[in-house]
């Protein structure tokens, strides 16, 4: 029964439709993993067992009548606690919303239900998604399934843990500065940050329920899973305009068949203008590049002409300005103090603080930098299938207070730079990224991930590249002890 919980999502759905396993049996397998692991990991914070059991029984009864609800008929999965769920508590890790029960589903939730999914529960996140670790005063801290003394990352940390530990087949998270990719990297799962404008964020908190929407750039919804094929399935189901999120582009999903690995062209780098990256990650990326060359790929080491100080300031200013537009002055002061209190003088922090209190001219200047960096990265990627680069500067670090120094080998690094520093570039430019695990010599070593970056609107092609890469990097590896 336990092995059922670690099947790929698409295979679970196929087995249910073929009547090889029931939806109730699948749910029992996942709930068994929750029972065995959630006390020490604290990934699921609101379990909806009663309604999930009723939904699974309905799914089995429908199949007995010859009815198939959709591609996820009877498959159990989880939702980040930032997305509204009808009749199910949604807190975004925020004390003021600790008892908030929405009367509507976020678009991504409604689409998963329409595809036949069984919602098991909601997963933990930092308060209002404003951290790269997962902890809050409503539900406490989520632990990494590979080492409970270490962070799982954030803000979609609970979902990454649930997928890695077999408590969920698939998670829908969100990402405004690495929030899908950092937990994927730290927990050893696959994550997709799509091109901005592909998957609606309607019903996501923040913004606050009923308030005008302020955050209109850089944030995206996206899936976390144990295979690239499941990421593709999720994009197919979740993408497209919903009539609410007006930033959505009418880009239909298109199947892009994977080619032979040897036909792909890759850029790669472990060097972002002197930013520190651990020797372990550098070695893993260099090994990947050598393996791709040996497989017949065209591989070139190259770094784009990107000034990260400008990127971080612009990313921070856009985030600060748009988040600040949604909150009262007192909350704005508290948010500014939070980022000001972090150790080290980071351009990210300065940008956020400046954005919180900035002028319209500051905001438009940040948008101008966004346009410039978008064009530079598109030009850099022209003629190549993907660019391979680190997710963060280090593997998962031990739990600590937000804003403390991070260690990158023998060097101290400012907290936000060490976590959001590398992934935030692609939120600023809107490029799609697949985060996927790298192979490890020691099966018990901490996971390492790589960002696989593609051209804007080329999400389906990027997923095919990532799927081909698994010929070298290998499949998902289960954490020991789960």
Give me the residue label for tokens 């930033």.
247
Exactly one of 22, 80, 184, 202 is catalytic; name it.
80
Residue 1 in this model has a pLDDT that exceeds 70: no
CB atoms closer than 10 angstroms to residue 328: 9
User: Which residue of the set 179, 394, 402, 464 is catalytic?
Assistant: 179
C-alpha 285: how far from its chain's center? 21
Q: Whole-angstrom Cα distance, residue 301 to residue 315? A: 26
Q: Are 74 and 18 in contact (CB under 8 A)?
A: no
- Token code pair at residue 417: 């730079």
Q: Each residue of 43-90: pLDDT tens digit?
A: 999 999 999 999 999 999 999 999 999 999 999 999 999 999 999 999
Q: Is 241 left (phi over 0), alpha (psi -120 to 50) or beta?
A: beta
Nearest to 282 by CA among 195, 202, 190, 389: 389
- The per-residue pLDDT for 440 is 83
Report pLDDT digits (tens) over 188-238.
Answer: 999 999 999 999 999 999 988 988 888 999 999 999 999 999 999 999 999
For residue 222 the two structure tokens come to 């996206």
Quick check: 2 and 32 in contact, CB under 8 A?
A: yes
Q: What is the mean pLDDT of residues 360-368?
A: 96
pLDDT the model gives residue 211 = 86
H helix intervals, 171-223: 181-187
Average pLDDT over residues 475-481: 95
The answer, yes or no, to whether residue 31 has pLDDT greater than 90, is yes
Using alpha carbons, select from 342, 472, 393 the residue that is nearest to residue 186.
393
Q: Is the pLDDT of residue 313 over 80?
A: yes
Q: How far apart are CA 115 and CA 94, in angstroms?
A: 30
In eight-state DSSP terms, residue 354 is H
What does the alpha-carbon distance between residue 155 and residue 77 come to, in Å, rounded to a whole number?
A: 18
100 vs 85: CA distance, rounded Å:
10
Q: Is 22 a catalytic residue?
A: no
Rounded to a whole number of angstroms, the CA Rg of the chain reads 21
Q: How far apart are CA 438 and CA 425, in angstroms?
A: 21
Angle, vertex CA 120, rays to CA 115 and CA 125, nearest 5: 105
More confident residue, 441 or 423: 423
Do the beta carbons of residue 175 and residue 193 sit within 8 Å?
yes
Tell me, what's the pLDDT at 102? 98
Structure tokens at 296: 């017949």
Q: Is 193 a catalytic residue?
A: no
- Domains located in the chain, CATH noted: 2-245+261-473 (3.90.1300.10)
Residues contacting residue 84 through CB under 8 Å, at least 6 positions apart: 90, 102, 104, 105, 106, 109, 203, 204, 205, 209
C-alpha–C-alpha distance, residues 313 and 311, integer Å: 6
Per-residue pLDDT, averaged over 150-163, amounts to 98
Given 22, 92, 155, 394, the catalytic residue: 155
Residues in the chain: 482
Tens of pLDDT, residues 262-311: 999 999 999 887 789 999 999 999 999 999 999 999 999 999 988 999 99
The verdict on whether 80 is a catalytic residue reads yes
DSSP secondary structure, 411-443, as one string:
EEE-HHHHHHTTTHHHHHH---EEEEEPP-SST
Q: How far is CA 67 from the centre of its chain?
A: 33
What pLDDT, on the 0 to 100 scale, is given for residue 442?
82
% of the chain at pLDDT higher than 90 = 92
Collect all residues with Cβ–Cβ distance below 8 Å to 194 and sequence separation of at least 6. 220, 221, 222, 235, 239, 432, 459
pLDDT at 329: 85
pLDDT value for 168: 98
For residues 46 and 61, what is the distance between their CA atoms, to the nearest angstrom?
26
169: helix, strand or coil: coil
Segment 172-182 shows an average pLDDT of: 98
pTM score, whole prediction: 0.98
Instruction: Give the rounded distance of the alpha carbon of 236 from its chain centre.
Output: 17
Cα(69)–Cα(425) distance, integer angstroms: 39
Mean pLDDT, to the nearest integer, of 449-472? Answer: 98
Percent of the chain at pLDDT > 70 equals 100
Say what angle helices 9-17 and 49-64 make with each other, to 10 degrees: 50
More confidently predicted of 444 and 242? 242
Q: How confident is the model at residue 326 (pLDDT cuts 50, 70, 90)?
A: confident
Output the average pLDDT for the chain: 96
CB-side exposure of 37: number of CA atoms within 13 Å?
A: 31
């Amino acid at each position: 029964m336990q092995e059922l919980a670690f099947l790929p999502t698409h295979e679970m759905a196929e087995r249910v439709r073929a009547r090889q396993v029931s939806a109730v049996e699948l749910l029992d397998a996942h709930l068994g993993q929750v029972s065995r692991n959630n006390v020490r990991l604290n990934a699921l914070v609101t379990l909806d067992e009663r309604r999930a059991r009723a939904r699974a029984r309905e799914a089995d009864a429908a199949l007995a009548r010859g009815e198939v609800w959709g591609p996820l008929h009877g498959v159990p999965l989880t939702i980040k606690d930032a997305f509204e769920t009808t009749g199910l508590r949604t807190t975004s890790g925020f004390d003021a919303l600790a008892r908030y029960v929405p009367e509507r589903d976020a678009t991504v939730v409604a689409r998963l239900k329409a595809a036949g999914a069984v919602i098991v529960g909601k997963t933990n996140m930092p308060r209002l998604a404003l951290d790269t670790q997962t902890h809050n005063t409503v539900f406490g801290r989520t632990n990494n399934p590979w080492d409970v003394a270490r962070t799982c990352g954030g803000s979609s940390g609970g979902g990454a843990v649930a997928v890695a530990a077999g408590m969920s087949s698939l998670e829908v998270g969100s990402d405004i500065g690495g929030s899908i990719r950092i937990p994927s990297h730290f927990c050893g799962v696959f994550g997709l940050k799509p091109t901005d404008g592909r998957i609606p964020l309607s019903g996501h908190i923040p913004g606050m329920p009923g308030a005008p929407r302020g955050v209109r750039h850089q944030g995206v919804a996206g899936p976390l899973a144990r295979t690239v094929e499941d990421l593709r399935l999720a994009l197919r189901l979740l993408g497209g305009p919903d009539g609410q999120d007006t930033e959505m582009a009418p880009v239909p999903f298109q199947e892009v068949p994977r080619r032979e690995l040897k036909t792909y062209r890759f850029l790669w780098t472990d060097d972002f203008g002197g930013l520190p990256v651990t020797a372990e990650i550098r070695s893993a990326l260099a090994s990947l590049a050598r393996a791709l060359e040996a497989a017949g790929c065209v591989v070139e080491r190259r770094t784009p002409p990107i000034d990260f100080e400008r990127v971080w300031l612009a990313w921070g200013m856009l985030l600060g300005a748009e988040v600040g537009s949604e909150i009262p002055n007192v909350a704005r002061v508290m948010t500014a103090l939070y980022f000001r209190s972090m150790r080290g003088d980071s351009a990210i922090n300065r940008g956020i603080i400046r954005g919180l209190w900035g002028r319209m001219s500051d905001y438009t200047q940040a948008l101008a930098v966004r346009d410039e960096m978008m064009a530079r990265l598109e030009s850099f990627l022209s003629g190549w299938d993907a660019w391979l680069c680190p997710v963060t500067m280090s593997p998962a670090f031990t739990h600590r207070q937000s804003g403390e120094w991070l260690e990158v080998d023998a060097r101290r690094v400012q907290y936000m730079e060490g976590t959001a520093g590398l992934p935030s570039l692609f939120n600023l430019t809107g490029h799609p990224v697949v985060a996927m695990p790298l192979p490890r010599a020691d099966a018990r070593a901490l996971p390492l991930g790589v960002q696989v970056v593609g051209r804007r609107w080329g999400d389906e092609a990027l997923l095919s590249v990532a799927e081909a890469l698994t010929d070298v990097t290998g499949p998902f590896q289960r954490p020991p002890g789960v």
